[in-house]
Structure formats: structure tokens, C-alpha cells
Amino acid sequence: MRNKQNTSAQDRLLTEVELELMTIIWNLKKITVKEVVTHLSNDRRLAYTTVATVMKVLEQKGFLVCQKESHAHVFIPCVSKEAYENKCIEHMVENVFDGEPVALLQRLISAQKLGVDEIQTIEDALKKLTPVRTEL
């Protein structure tokens, strides 16, 4: 188990609002605070100052880098969506499923009502996997 004192800010999971903003940023790659505000869903109206504050926090956590371009501050993601997804999966396996990735996969599959095409896609993906050797 990892020592929590040695974890970086990037190792922590994002809050709901942080994840919502990062999703917009990941989709647009390079964005200003004003552009993030305009891309928020109508269900979630946040003030410009709130968005700016959350984006500064994301910069401090190492998820974003800010560059000054002309008269605007432009934010660019430092952590890819895929890297963050991997971190979330690792967290789930370690902390919810007692380090057993098979338990996570079984739960995910049993919780979803999958169609024939989805099941076939999963089967195809499993066939392409290369087993990891475990040391005895």
C-alpha cells in the first residue's frame, strides 16, 4: 500500500467540479476560463470567478499549465484523460476491490445490462490480452 504522505497532488482523484472542468479542457485541449464557462452545461452554471479559482487549483495540483497568450491566460492539460482514467481504475482496484482487478471487472459486467454487440466487443478485447506472468 502506498504511503499517503508521499503521494503527489496528481495522484489524488478530482472533485466533481474539477472533473467536470477537466472534461471540457480535455475535449478542447487548450482553453481560457471564459471558454470553459461557455461550455458548461445549462444544468451547471458556475460563476466566472468560481471557474477561474477551480482552474487555478487544478494548475496547483499539476493537472493544468497556464500560458499567457496575448491578453488571455490559456490553460493546457498536463495530465491526459487516459492517464487520469488509469489512476481512477488503480484507485478503485486498490481501495474498493481489495487489490483484485478481476473483482472490479466482474462487478462492472454484472452491474451493466449489456447487449449482444457489447458482449462481443468485450470478448474480442479479452482475446487480445496477453497474460501477465506472476512470480512464484
Q: Note the pLDDT tens digit of each residue in 103-113.
A: 988 888 887 78
Span 9-56, pLDDT tens digits: 556 789 999 999 999 999 998 999 999 999 998 887 889 999 999 999
Domains of the chain: 8-77 (1.10.10.10), 81-128 (no CATH)
> What would the grid cell of residue 90 be?
488503480
* Of the candidates 120, 131, 74, the residue with the CA atom closest to the CA atom of residue 65: 74
Cα separation, 13 vs 38, whole angstroms: 25
CA nearest neighbour of 77 among 135, 30, 8, 133: 30
Is residue 46 within 8 Å of residue 17, measured between CB atoms? yes
- What is the per-residue pLDDT across 87-127, written as a single tens digit (0 to 9) for each? 999 998 999 999 998 898 888 888 778 888 888 898 898 88
Q: What's residue 86's pLDDT?
A: 92
The H or E element spanning position 28 is helix 16-28
Whether residue 25 contacts residue 81, with contact meaning beta carbons closer than 8 Å, is answered with no
Contact 14, 63 (CB under 8 A): yes
